[in-house]
Amino acid sequence: MAKTSHIVVVSIPSFSHQSSIIEFCKRFIHLHHNIHVTCIFPIIDAPIQATLKLLESLPPSINYTFLPPINQQDLPQDGVTQIQLAVAQSMPSFRNSLQSLCSTNPVVALVADPLASQALEIAKEFNLLSFIYYPLSAMTTSLHLHLSTLHEQISCDYIDHPNPIRIPGCIPIHGQDLPGDFFHHRSSIAYKLFLQHSKNFSLANGLLVNTFSEMEESTIKALQEKYNTIENNTEVYLVGPIIQSGSESTKLKGSDCEKWLDKQKPNSVLFVCFGSGGTLSQEQLNELAFGLELSSVKFLWVLREPSNSSYVGPYSVGSDDAILKFLPHGFLERTKEQGLVVPFWAPQTQILSHTSTGGFLTHCGWNSILESVVFGVPMITWPLFGEQRMNAILLTEGLEVGLKVKFNDNGIADRNEIAEVIRALMLSEERSEIQQRIEALKDAATSALAEDGSSSRALSQFGIRMENLMLEK
């Protein structure tokens, strides 16, 4: 009987990261039946409910475990700092868990989220090869890997740097468009923690990046030229596009969303959703509502409660009636023939794949972008936090498959601006050109995911490397 290779995967307390790495594991073991995976999740207070739902669809060769919870009351309120500190405080428990796994079922390698880079150090203690799984763009990956160099080159806060910042293989980026959570203030705890992560990345024996060559050609070329060398012995595996599947796939069928979408014309509906954690202020929510109404375009809007923070965490729970009260007075009545408002959550991949969906107003999270590309849906970019400004620039200036919403000096997009960009994406002559470009990307994504496609080949190469490690043990 063939030996079973066992790899350990560690993520962070963020649904977008957890969902991506879970889907990576499912796709990976689908191609490699002799490999067993254990997913380890640090948590803050309790497991994320949406993650628990995804874990219900795991095949038998993937196990998971949650580390002892870190008390949110003992952490700062800033989301990025909170996550990084929670992961750091979970590392002793992670080491114990890894030691237990190694003693019962020999582990050959570790795959870690970039914000769990401390695990790479622990992997060396156990003589394991280690890899970083990037649930992010190659552009963001290149920034992460180049940060130590940038830190030496630029002495001021990046937001104050007068010239565009050059990241290998990428469109030049202004400092204000770098992830504000990390990069706007070098004195912040978040930045100092992330700088340490960037120094740990050199410990990895390879990079698994959730993208494909046609999506980010020049950036991928720069990464491969730097890392795919005999001297460096660090391989770059392009394993994307990996998007959500499985447990979500049946949730549209028979729902109000499906019934409403089925009544609409092909490519006529704008899907509006800010991901699993994004939210708007009450003022901005009002302007978006009026903008949708003014556009006269059909829309399906996933509504979340307003907040002065752009991130409130995944999938709020509450009364549908209570959240609908945040909408402007009379909005639902005036738009009852034009749109559908869905409280809290909707099955995004299924909506994007529906023939009636013709546009996507998105916060530009990488998971959402890949889903839109896979189904060939043009985008309106509305970045909120993290690396989303960089992603928006890639979409609008690099790939030219989306249009951007413009914000005023107070950081608000007004209703007229919103209505204008919606009509431009959905109704103008410009739409056909954008549609052609994203259809080409869709075809490339389909080819990458094919049995002999680039993503499948990369996963096969990585799997063979894992199997060979087992034979050496």
DSSP output for 284-312:
HHHHHHHHHHHH--EEEEEE----SSSB-
Q: Which residue has the tokens 């002793």?
A: 92
The pTM score is: 0.94
Q: Which residue has the tokens 């899907």?
A: 271
Known catalytic residue at 113: yes
Interior angle at CA 37, CA 81 and CA 5, nearest 5: 130
**CA 96 to chain CA mean position, Å:** 29
- Supply φ then ψ for residue 267, to 5 degrees: 60, 25
Which amino acid type is present at position 455?
S
Distance CA 18, CA 95 (A): 19
Q: Hey, what CATH class is 5-242+450-472 in?
A: alpha beta
Whether the CB-CB separation of 454 and 214 falls below 8 Å is answered with: no
Question: Tokens in use for 231?
Answer: 């001297």
Interior angle at CA 344, CA 318 and CA 48, nearest 5: 80
Q: What is the pLDDT of residue 471?
A: 73
Which amino acid type is present at position 302?
V
Q: Which fold has domain 250-428?
A: Rossmann fold (3.40.50)
- 3-state class (DSSP) for residue 418: helix
**CATH topology of 5-242+450-472 equal to that of 250-428?**
yes
The model's pLDDT over 187-230, given as tens digits with 9 standing for 90+, comes to 888 899 999 999 999 999 999 999 999 999 999 999 998 887 65
Q: What is the pLDDT of residue 249?
A: 45
The burial of 429, by beta-carbon neighbours within 10 Å (0-12 exposed, 13-18 middle, 19 or more buried), is given as exposed
β-pair type (269-273, 129-134):
unpaired
Q: How many CB atoms lie within 10 A of CB 74?
A: 11
Q: What is the pLDDT of residue 311?
A: 57
Distances (CA, A) of 184 to 137, 161, 188, 281: 20, 10, 9, 22
Q: Which residue has the tokens 């219900």?
A: 56
- Annotated active-site residue in 6, 36, 113, 354: 113
- Nearest-10 Cα torsion for 415, 418, 423, 429: 140
Domain boundaries, the chain: 5-242+450-472, 250-428
Please give the chain's pLDDT, 473 residues, in tens.
356 789 999 999 999 999 999 999 999 999 888 899 999 999 999 999 989 999 998 999 999 999 999 999 999 888 888 999 999 999 999 999 999 999 988 899 999 999 999 999 999 999 999 999 999 999 999 999 999 999 999 999 999 999 999 999 999 999 999 987 678 888 888 899 999 999 999 999 999 999 999 999 999 999 998 887 655 667 999 999 999 875 444 466 668 899 999 999 999 999 999 998 889 999 999 999 999 999 999 999 999 999 876 655 555 455 577 889 999 999 999 999 999 999 988 999 999 999 999 999 999 999 999 999 999 999 999 999 989 999 999 999 999 999 999 999 999 999 999 999 999 999 999 999 999 999 999 999 999 999 999 999 999 999 988 988 777 76
Contacts of 403 (CB under 8 A, 6+ apart): 378, 379, 380, 381, 396, 421, 424, 425, 430, 434
Distance CA 249, CA 347 (A): 8
- Annotated active-site residue in 6, 17, 36, 363: 17
DSSP state of 28: H
Residues in the chain, overall count: 473
DSSP state of 394: I
- Nearest CA among 385, 343, 347, 339 for reference residue 366: 385
Q: How many CB atoms lie within 10 A of CB 243?
A: 25
Whether the CB-CB separation of 376 and 399 falls below 8 Å is answered with: no
Known catalytic residue at 17: yes
DSSP state of 209: E
Question: Tokens in use for 384?
Answer: 């909120």
Whether the CB-CB separation of 458 and 206 falls below 8 Å is answered with: no
β-pair type (339-343, 379-381):
unpaired
Largest CA distance in the chain: 69
Which amino acid type is present at position 82?
Q
Distance CA 91, CA 162 (A): 39
- What DSSP element (H or E) covers 219? helix 217-227
- What DSSP element (H or E) covers 182? helix 180-183
Contacts of 114 (CB under 8 A, 6+ apart): 132, 134, 136, 144, 197, 201
